[in-house]
Amino acid sequence: MYSNLELPKGFKCAGIAAGIKADGSKDMALILSEEPATAAGVFTTNQVCAAPVKLCREHLAHGSARAIVLNSGIANACTGSAGMVAARGMAAEAAEAIGCQESEIFVCSTGRIGPQLPLDKIVVGIGNLYSAASGGNVQATAEAMMTTDTRPKVSVAETQVDGKSVKIVGFAKGAGMIEPNMATMLSFITTDAAVESQALQAALKKAVDLSFNRITIDGDQSTNDTVLALANGAAGNVPLGEASKGWEEFSEALNNVCHELALMIVHDGEGADKFVTVHVTGAESDAAADLAARSVANSLLNKTAWAGEYPNWGRVMDSIGYSKARVDEDRVSIRYDGVQAVANGMRTEIPQAELIKVVSQSDFAINIDLHLGEGSATVYTCNCTEEYVRINVE
Amino acid sequence: MYSNLELPKGFKCAGIAAGIKADGSKDMALILSEEPATAAGVFTTNQVCAAPVKLCREHLAHGSARAIVLNSGIANACTGSAGMVAARGMAAEAAEAIGCQESEIFVCSTGRIGPQLPLDKIVVGIGNLYSAASGGNVQATAEAMMTTDTRPKVSVAETQVDGKSVKIVGFAKGAGMIEPNMATMLSFITTDAAVESQALQAALKKAVDLSFNRITIDGDQSTNDTVLALANGAAGNVPLGEASKGWEEFSEALNNVCHELALMIVHDGEGADKFVTVHVTGAESDAAADLAARSVANSLLNKTAWAGEYPNWGRVMDSIGYSKARVDEDRVSIRYDGVQAVANGMRTEIPQAELIKVVSQSDFAINIDLHLGEGSATVYTCNCTEEYVRINVE
C-alpha cells in the first residue's frame, strides 16, 4: 500500500473508475503538474502502435507538459483514424479541464486491442479525475493503470541536488507481453527536480535500457509501451544538465526507480512464481552476452523447467547454442546461484539434489560464463506456469 | 499402424528395447541397406550439438552409407570427448555386425542432454537389431525413435522413374523443441531409387526447407536434429541427376514425404490439440513474409489464445508489428480461414461468433495480407495448452 506516499512537490494525481472496464474497477488516472514540466518519453518499437503512442510522440516534440491522462481496459490500438480522433479528444478534454495547451497533455491507453474508446465515459472521467487530484492519491493512481497486474507498482527515491531535496516517484504497470523494448508496460516518472529537456531525455533513455529493456516475461512486445518522465522544477534547483554537479546523483536515483519498477513487473509476471536472473559473462561482447542471456530467458523450455523446479541445464546449453552469440560448447560453464552445474560444456559431479535446492527457491540466478571474452549482460525473467497459459487462454 | 508396410527394396529395419529408457520401452533402431547407398544429410544449426551429429557430418563426407543406428532416451549431447568415443563405438559396433566401414554408419541419438550413453547396452542392442532386421519392421522402428511423441510417424510415396517403380519410406520423430532449422527432430528417408550423391543432397536440402524448416512448436532448436536420406539404387533406374528425366517426379515424391512427416510432427506437438497454418502474403519479399509468419507462429500469446479458442487478432497484429518484416498497419488484412477479421488494420463488422467458429476447429488457417508486395510464406504450428507446460514442467 502506498497510502502514505506523497508525489514530488507540485504534482497531483488521481485514479478512478470511469466505466471502461466491465467489472467496475478503476480504469482512469491523471498525473498532473501544477506548473509546466520538462518532459521525456520512450516508446514501443512495434510497427503496429496504438493511437495514444502516436499522439505522445507528437506532443513530446513540444518538450513541456502539464499532465498524463490514461485509461486501462481498452488499448486504443488498431483503431485507425477514429482511434486518433479519440486520443486527441482525450487530450483536448484534459487540456480544457486543466487550462493548458493540448500539446501539453500525454495520453496513454492499455488493455484490449481493437475496440474504440468510449469517449463519453472518458470525458466524464477526466472531469472527475481533475476534481479528485491530490498529492496523496498514489495508491489509487497506480491501481487505475492495472490490467492483468495483481498489484500496483510504485517506486520512490530521494536525493540532494544543488543543496535541494529532490524526489522521484515512479509508477508502472506490466504483467504479460513483456520483452526487450518494453512490451505492454506503462511507466510514469514524476520528479520535482529541474532538469534540462535533452538531459532528461538522455537520462530516461539510459534508465530504460538498464531496467525495462532488461526484463522479459513472454517475449512478446506490445503496441502501447510508454515510459514518460515529467520534471517540474518545484525543488528549486538550478536546472540539471549532463555536466551539472548533482547530475550523477539524479541519474542514479532515476535508474534506481526504473530498476525497481522493472523488477516489480517481472515479479508480477502473469502466473509466474519464480524470479530468475540470467547473467552471462565471458562473451565476445556485451551485445553477444545480451543475445545469449535473452535466448535463455525467453526459452519456453527453460521457463517451464524452472516452473517444475528442475535444473535442466541441458536446455540452457541448447538455448545459448541457438542464440546468435558465438559459443564454444567446450568452454561453457553454468552455475545455479553458486552451484556449478556445467564445466567445460559438461555436467559436473555436483549431485542433482544441490541444483534442485537452488531452483526450488523463488528467486535464483543462472550464471553462464562463455569463456570467450569480456562481454557481460543480465536479463531478468520469470518461470512459465500452467497458470500463465490459463490466464492467456481466458 | 504401419504393420503391412514394407521398406523400399534392399532395406531392412528393426526397433527394440535395449534398456536405455527406464520404462523398458523401445529405444534402439536400425535402418540398413543391403548394398552401399548414396547418402545425404541435413543437421541442426545449433552451436551446441550432440556427438552423433558431429560424427554424422564427418561420415557424410564419405558419400556412401550402409546403415543408420539410433537410440532414444539419451541425447549424447554435452558429453565431451567421452560422448564422441561412445558415438564412434556405436558406429564401430554396427560396422562390425554388418561387415562394412565405420564411415558407412550414421549414428543418431535423442533424449536427455547430459548423461553418457551406456555403451554396454548399446553393443548388445546392435546385435539384437541386426538379427531382427527385416523389410517389414517399420512400426517397431518408428516406435523406437519416439521420445515425447504420442505416435510413430511414417510416410510413403511411390513414383515411376525411368520406367522403374521407385519407393520412398520416411520416418520421423518430433514433439517439443521444434523451430526453424529442425529442432529435436529426427527423420530418416529410405529410397530404392538410384540417385547421384550431389543431386540427393540438393533434393534433401530443398525438401527440408519446404517441410521441417516450416514448422514450429515452441521456438526452441535442439542439439540433435538430423535428417538423413539413403538411396540404394535397388529399383534399377539409371542414377538420377538434377537434369535427368524423372528428376521432378522423384523430387516431388521426396518433398511429399518430408511435408507429410513435418505436418505429423506439428499434429503431435507436445500437449497441442490444434493445428494452425499461418500464411502471409503481400510482403515485400518471401523472406519478409517468412519473418512475419514465424513471429505470429511463435508468439506465446497467439498460441495460448488459440488454445482458448479465442480469435485474438489483436495479438496477431501485435506479433507482425514486432517482426523484422516491414508492416504498414493501415494496410493489413487478416482472415481466419475465409472469414475476414481485419481490413486496413482495423476489425471488420464480422460478428465475433463467426471468428470463434473458425478457431474452435482443430485445424484452421490465419491468412495475413500485408498489401506491400508479392512475398509469401507459410508456417505450420500448433496451440500452446496447459498440457504443454505440464509435460515440460515434469
B219 — pLDDT class (breaks 50, 70, 90): low
Chain B's closest residue to A74, CA to CA, is: B314
User: B44, B110, B147, B184: which is the annotated catalytic residue?
Assistant: B184
| Cross-chain residue pair B221–A112, CB shorter than 8 Å | no
Rounded to two decimals, what is the model's pTM?
0.86
Annotation marks residue B44 as catalytic = no
> What does the pLDDT read at residue A392?
64
Residue A149 confidence class, pLDDT cut points 50, 70, 90: confident
What pLDDT is stored for residue A117 in this prediction? 96
Q: A46 and B321 in contact by Cβ < 8 A? A: yes
Among candidate residues A79, A141, A159, A184, the one labeled active-site is A184
Structure confidence at residue A184 (pLDDT): 66
Instruction: Give the pLDDT confidence score for residue A179 in this predicted structure.
Output: 44
- Segment B131-138 shows an average pLDDT of 96
**Annotation: CATH topology of B11-267:** L-amino peptidase D-ALA esterase/amidase (3.60.70)
- Candidates A44, A47, A74, A221, partner chain B, best to mutate (most B CBs within 10 A): A47
The DSSP letter of residue A23 is T
Decide: B249 and B207 in contact? Cβ < 8 Å.
Answer: no
pLDDT on residue A178: 46
pLDDT at B216: 75
Burial class (CB in 10 A: 0-12, 13-18, 19+), B160: middle
- Burial classification of residue B184, based on how many CB atoms lie within 10 Å of its CB (0-12 exposed, 13-18 middle, 19 or more buried): buried
Residue B177 in this model has a pLDDT that exceeds 70: no
CA distance B162 to chain A (A): 42
Average pLDDT over residues B201-229: 85
pLDDT tens per residue across span A313-337: 988 998 999 899 999 999 999 999 9
Q: Does the pLDDT of residue B233 top 50, yes or no?
A: yes
Q: Is the pLDDT of residue B394 over 80?
A: no
In the predicted structure, residue B39 carries a pLDDT above the cut 90: yes
| Residue A372, min C-alpha distance to chain B (Å) | 14
In tens, the pLDDT along B76-129 reads 999 999 999 999 999 999 999 999 999 999 999 998 888 999 999 999 999 999
Task: Say how far apart CA B325 and CA B305 lie, in whole Å.
Answer: 23
Instruction: Give per-residue pLDDT as tens, A117-130.
Output: 999 999 999 999 99
The region of weakest confidence among B2-6, B20-24, B179-183 is: B179-183
Instruction: Give A254's pLDDT tier (boundaries 50, 70, 90).
Output: very high
pLDDT digits (tens, 9 = 90+) for B69-78: 999 999 999 9
Of the candidates B115, B59, B127, the residue with the CA atom closest to the CA atom of residue B88: B59
User: Residue B146: pLDDT above 50?
Assistant: yes
The residue among B166 and B384 whose pLDDT is bigger is B166
The proportion of chain B whose per-residue pLDDT surpasses 70, expressed as a percent, equals 95
pLDDT averaged over every residue in chain B: 91
pLDDT at A120: 96
pLDDT mean over B35-62:
94
CB spacing of B220 vs A80 below 8 angstroms:
no
> Does the structure show a pLDDT above 80 at A54?
yes
Superfamily covering domain B275-393: ArgJ beta chain, C-terminal domain (3.10.20.340)
Q: Residue A182's pLDDT band (boundaries 50, 70, 90)?
A: very low
Bridging pattern class, strands A226-231 and A186-191: parallel
Contacts of A46 in chain B (CB under 8 A): 318, 321-322
Instruction: Give the residue with greater pLDDT, A1 vs B12.
Output: B12
pLDDT band at A183 (very low <50, low <70, confident <90, very high): very low
How many other C-beta atoms lie within 10 A of the C-beta of residue B115?
A: 18
Q: What would the pLDDT profile of B200-212 be if each residue is shown by its tens digit? A: 999 999 999 999 9
Confidence of residue A4 (pLDDT cuts 50, 70, 90): confident
Among A348, A345, A376, A362, which residue's Cα sits nearest to residue A309?
A: A362
Which grid coordinates are listed for A296? 535463455
Alpha-helix residue ranges (DSSP H) falling in A33-108: 51-60, 80-98
Q: Which of A48, A298, A310 to mutate to test the interface with B (most CBs of B within 10 A)?
A: A48
Whether residue A221 has pLDDT greater than 80: no
pLDDT value at residue A181: 37
| A–B interface: beta-carbon pairs under 8 A | 190
Contact predicate A226/A186, CB 8 Å: yes
Q: Is the pLDDT of residue B162 over 90?
A: no
If you average pLDDT over residues B291-300, what whole number do you get?
Answer: 90
Domain range list for chain A? 11-267, 275-393
Are the folds of A11-267 and A275-393 the same? no
Quote the minimal CA–CA distance from A13 to chain B in Å.
Answer: 31
Asked if B122 and B71 touch (Cβ cutoff 8 Å), the reply is yes
Residue A358 has pLDDT above 70, yes or no: yes
pLDDT at B266: 85
Region of residue B10 (left: phi > 0; alpha: psi -120 to 50; beta: else)? left
Which of the pair, A9 or B115, is modelled with greater confidence?
A9
Convert the pLDDT of each residue in A62-74 to its tens digit: 879 999 999 999 9
Of B176, B304, B320, the CB nearest to A48: B320
Q: Report residue B284's pLDDT band, with 50, 70 and 90 as the boundaries.
A: very high
Rounded (10°) CA dihedral A259, A265, A267, A270: -160
- How does residue B176 score in pLDDT terms, banded at 50, 70 and 90? low
More confident residue, A38 or A113: A38
User: How is A125-179 classified by DSSP, letter by letter?
Assistant: HHHHHHHH-BTT-HHHHHHHT-SS-SS-EEEEEEEEETTEEEEEEEEEE--SS--
**Of the ranges B86-95, B169-178, B300-309, B312-321, which one carries the lowest mean pLDDT score?**
B169-178
pLDDT in tens, A270-303: 677 888 999 999 999 999 999 999 999 988 888 8
Residues B171-190 have a mean pLDDT of 71
C-alpha cell at B116: 553418457
Q: What is the mean pLDDT of residues A79-107?
A: 97
Grid coordinates belonging to B5: 508396410
- CB contacts of B46 in chain A (<8 Å) are 318, 321-322
